[in-house]
Amino acid sequence: MIRVAAVGDIHMGPDSRGSLRPAFETLPDVADLLLLAGDLTRHGTVDEARVVAEEVAGLGVPVIAVLGNHDHHADQTPEVTAVLEEAGVTVLEGAATTLTVGGTVVGVAGTKGFGGGFAGRSAGEFGEPEMKAFVRATRRSADGLRRALEELADAGCALRIALTHFSPVPDTLAGEPTEIYPFLGSYLLAEALDGGKVDLAVHGHAHAGTEHGMTVGGVRVRNVAQPVLRRAFAVYHLAPA
């Protein structure tokens, strides 16, 4: 069994330094890798990113992350990414990475994702330039995720995991006001998952949502936003085919 630890929306700042480190230091005993599902900082500043880096540096398990909307707020994403990567974190955006766990090749494809909504009540690429740009941003994220998953298929990974910040399904948004669903995720991400034969998809962003969901194609989806988990991280067990 491959043990996948995951959490998102930890929203760290200078006053939370060290708050997660004791729990994270137990990871080598309970998990084979850690996934961070975005919104790692509060405002996307370099100083906040350094706090995150201190929490996850040298944990003894691989750490893979995507950024969230909060991590983009200060328009310092290259700098934030550099700080995380210096601490050994693999940061994905429309890209994939592989690792070998006990002889099993595990692939992780990641993108932040974006909003747009879900089947029957989603935004369309029509009308004002602003609306077209909104939907095109979502489509670019979904296309990047799809390409990354294709890379993993070509690499012959025994297990494939998708990591996003925005949700691919409405299931894991239950508890959030329905009016904001279009700003919490998009069905286009789910289409990429179903086409990529994904074993597990994790996301964050929906603080008042629900942990468990599934795509139409049967991909297990987990909302790992920390306010949903109410603990430092969750661990999911995957069995290679």
The sign of the dihedral angle between the CA atoms of 129, 131, 135, 137 is positive
Q: Average per-residue pLDDT in the chain? A: 95
Q: What is the pLDDT of residue 112?
A: 98
Domains, the chain, in order of start with CATH, read 2-238 (3.60.21.10)
Kindly tell me the burial class for residue 114, based on how many C-beta atoms sit within 10 Å of its own C-beta (0-12, 13-18, 19 or more): buried
Q: The whole model's pTM is what?
A: 0.96
Q: What is the pLDDT of residue 122?
A: 72
Nearest Cα to Cα of residue 69 among 148, 170, 183: 183
Structure tokens at 138: 């979502």
Q: What is the pLDDT of residue 196?
A: 87
| Residues sharing a CB contact under 8 Å with residue 64, sequence separation 6 or more, in sequence order | 33, 34, 35, 36, 89, 90, 91, 92, 97, 108, 110, 163
For the chain, how are helix, strand and coil distributed in percent, rounded to 5?
Answer: 35, 30, 35
Q: What confidence tens digit (pLDDT) does each residue in 156-182 have?
A: 899 999 999 999 999 999 999 999 999
Q: What is the pLDDT of residue 227?
A: 98
Q: What confidence tens digit (pLDDT) does each residue in 102-150 have?
A: 999 999 999 999 999 998 677 777 778 888 898 899 999 999 999 999 9
- Does pLDDT of 197 surpass 90? no
Contact (CB, 8 A) for 94 and 165: no
